[in-house]
Amino acid sequence: MKLFAREEKDLIAGVWANGFDLRDMIDINDLTMSIWEAIAKVPYPITTTFNLLGNSSIINVMDESNDVVLRLHIDKQKIEFRLFEPKPSRDDTVAAAFATMATMGVINKMCN
């Protein structure tokens, strides 16, 4: 059974590699809180922490062992995604992918 469709995998790979341009469209605090809430609702054993830093923020996505598997750095121009393991486990990859899809869902909702 596949968890993600080909289009979803391509989207995830693209934003992990290139980030996502925001172009000053969204309030950083609202975006951060919305992403944090969306990831918290993901039906997968992950947790998140966030830190608001004025005009930017950081969201850490952690696995069941509380190891950071994905970090989102959000500023007015762009969201950057950073994977923390050069060869992540399947569970860590799935956790990061679910968090990424939740993030993109929030962006889609807030931009439209």
DSSP 8-state assignment for residue 106: H
**From CA 48, how far away is CA 33, in angstroms rounded?**
11
Q: Into how many domains does the chain fold?
A: 1
pTM of the model: 0.86
8-43 tens-digit pLDDT: 888 888 888 898 888 767 888 898 999 999 999 988
64: containing domain = 6-111
Q: How many helices (H) and strands (E) does the chain have?
A: 3, 5
Other beta carbons within 10 Å of 33: 16
Give the domain CATH number at 76.
3.60.90
Asked whether residue 1 carries a pLDDT value surpassing 60, the answer given is no
pLDDT band at 93 (very low <50, low <70, confident <90, very high): confident
Whether residue 70 lies inside any domain: the answer is yes
The pair phi, psi for residue 68, each rounded to 5°, is -70, 125
Asked if residues 59 and 50 have their Cβ atoms less than 8 Å apart, the reply is yes
Nearest one of 100, 102, 53, 108 to 75, comparing CA atoms: 53
Whether residue 13 lies inside any domain: the answer is yes
Whether residue 63 lies inside any domain: the answer is yes
One-letter amino acid for residue 75 of the chain: D
Task: Determine the 3-state secondary structure of 54 from DSSP.
Answer: coil
37-81 tens-digit pLDDT: 999 998 888 888 888 877 899 999 988 888 899 999 998 889 999
Nearest one of 37, 55, 95 to 71, comparing CA atoms: 95
Whether residue 1 lies inside any domain: the answer is no
